[in-house]
Amino acid sequence: MARLFGTDGVRGQANTDITAELALDLSVAAAHVLGERGDFAGHRPYAVVGTDGRASGEFLSAAVLAGLASAGVDVLDVGVLPTPAIAYLTAELDADLGVVLSASHNPMPDNGIKFFTRGGHKLPDDLEDAIEGRLREPWERPTGAAVGRVRRLDDGAERYVAHLLTVLPNRLDGLHVVIDAAHGAASIVSPEVFRRAGARVEVIGAEPDGLNINDGYGSTHLQPLRDAVLASGADLGIAHDGDADRCLAIDATGEVVDGDQIMAVIALALRELGALRDDTLVATVMSNLGMLQAMAREGVTVRQTAVGDRYVLEDMRAGGYSLGGEQSGHVILLEHGTTGDGVLTGLMLAARMAQTGRSLADLAGVMRRLPQVLVNVPGVDKDAVDGDPAVQAAVAVAVAELGSSGRVLLRKSGTEPLVRVMVEAADEAQAHAVAERLAESVRSHLSISV
């Protein structure tokens, strides 16, 4: 049976894959696993629970509240808040557990369940496996005063906004910003904190109704933000996804500034402040070669991990690094948060513009994005890709052809019989040609016989 937890919690279609029963059972199992390993020792446990505003989050959060309370855990229901805000509150309030009902950038019909341990950290694989292994087991239920109590925390958003303002290195006076909140969890919080920081703010995609999250707006649909920036003559646009754990940007000319460029800008800003630990940035193997080349020129070391912000975070925590993230816009500033924070990322990007007086296009120009082509090859034996002589010979030929101006990466999917072929080159036509050639080699030599 496939593992229930993915790279970022449990996710699927709400009320089909992610049911109220599953949400309740996972919450009970999490309470049991954490309690038995000693997380609740010596005190009455309590948890922080919030959602990203999807309609399905209403019944799923009710199930989580019920499950935790039935297991003897007191619960603070913080309502609709960004995922990083819930992680922050889990740490700030010294809660034993945090739970987020969110499917991030996925369409509205999906939802997910994500857990944080004490301190606001994502669960490691072994804890997720332990929780999955305890689903629906018989258990002795508390009664009377031992059952958990549920209450609202009404000032969660204000606590989070205040935290972000204390982190900001300088004010944003004079900047004109357009914020696209994806009709999601940042619809109120993100515009509010930018305004308090001194920016002139216009807002789009900030009328959530439970059904329109990520629908035509946000970091996966950048055209409305581009149009708004150009129409208003703004200095930059900030795009969040539904739960605001990521940030992409649009510069004043309408060009997209992706996660690699954002990390490059923030890395140099932190280094100038003496806050880039060991002059090191942690990124994934999918980060653009142009970013790697730019950081090498600037004397910044780039460590690369497997794809997934959890792997970035693991490497950051192990090495004590202060900055990491993904091309998709998940950026982690570990001294100020335990997970990707799209609102904080946007603030730091804007702060660099205000501090230097430079445009976003100028700042992002520190790196040149090389053309990157990704081809998915389905129906193949993905586990054989690293050991097949013919495929590896084709890779060697491609690497020799591209030299230092390009890069090849063959990566197997974690969930389906699929190999992802990624090629970067100085010329887009060459990147396409090499990628298609490698994809054909994978199809020819690794196809699964029916």
The residues assigned a catalytic role are 104
| Distance of alpha carbon 333 from alpha carbon 282, whole angstroms | 11
Which residue's structure tokens are 């994005």? 369
| Distance of alpha carbon 299 from alpha carbon 188, whole angstroms | 39
Short-list 412, 407, 415, CA closest to 435: 407
List of residues 6+ apart from 49 with CB closer than 8 A: 61, 64, 65, 68, 75, 76, 77, 78, 86, 98, 99, 100, 101
Short-list 85, 68, 240, CA closest to 156: 85
Stated length of the chain: 450
325 contacts 283 by C-beta, under 8 angstroms:
yes
Short-list 297, 305, 363, 365, CA closest to 332: 305
Residue 434 in 3-state DSSP? helix
| Distance of alpha carbon 425 from alpha carbon 371, whole angstroms | 6
| Distance of alpha carbon 318 from alpha carbon 320, whole angstroms | 6
Cα–Cα distances in angstroms (integers) from residue 267 to residues 278, 295, 300, 307, in the given order: 11, 9, 8, 20
DSSP 96: S
| Distance of alpha carbon 271 from alpha carbon 278, whole angstroms | 9
Give 205-241 as a 3 state SS string. Answer: CCCCCCCCCCCCCCCCCCHHHHHHHHHHCCCEEEEEC
- Can you state the angle between helices 156-167 and 342-356, rounded to 10 degrees? 30
349 contacts 236 by C-beta, under 8 angstroms:
yes
